[in-house]
Amino acid sequence: MLSVKARWCQRQTQGYRGVEVTNLTSSWRDGLALCALIHRQRPELIDYESLNEDDVARNNQLAFDVAEREFGIQPMTTGKEMEAGSEPDKLLMVLYLSKFFETFRNSSLNNGQSSSLLLLFFCALFLWSHVDNVSVVM
């Protein structure tokens, strides 16, 4: 059973080449899921089709730079650090992705998700960052 945050991330990145969000660590390492998350909301900011899944540092740095410049979301690491590790730190990813959820929650692409869902999302994020087997049933 998937948590609220994982399902939201899956919906936002669904249909993007090379992206399959199954967790909040290794699914995000190559940078494609982050770029897809941004592209879903603002396609003019990232040329998704030009991305190379093997260029981990570039993909991540592009996403970090665009997120900071366009949405004020501070990067949690660098593209080179993402490339160097086997997978990103789970707590850092939870915190970073929660910024995207907060930024994009009122978008028409989110099907009018309510503030109660936002509260549920943040509670699930907190719990999931502390316990590995927590999921929320909607």
- Burial state string for 17-49 with b = 16 or more CB within 10 A and e = fewer than 16: ebbebeebbebbbbbbbbbbbbbbbeeebbebe
Domain spans, the chain: 1-129
Distance, C-alpha 99 to centroid of its chain: 9
Average pLDDT over residues 70-90: 93
Phi-psi region of 57 (alpha: psi -120 to 50; beta: other; left: phi over 0): alpha
Residue 137 confidence class, pLDDT cut points 50, 70, 90:
very low
Q: Which residue has the higher pLDDT, 136 or 106?
A: 106
Quick: pLDDT tens for 44-66.
999 999 999 999 999 999 999 99
State residue 123's pLDDT score: 58
Question: According to the CATH classification, is domain 1-129 in 1.10.418.10?
Answer: yes
- Specify the pTM: 0.77
Place of tokens 């970073």: 96
State residue 31's pLDDT score: 97
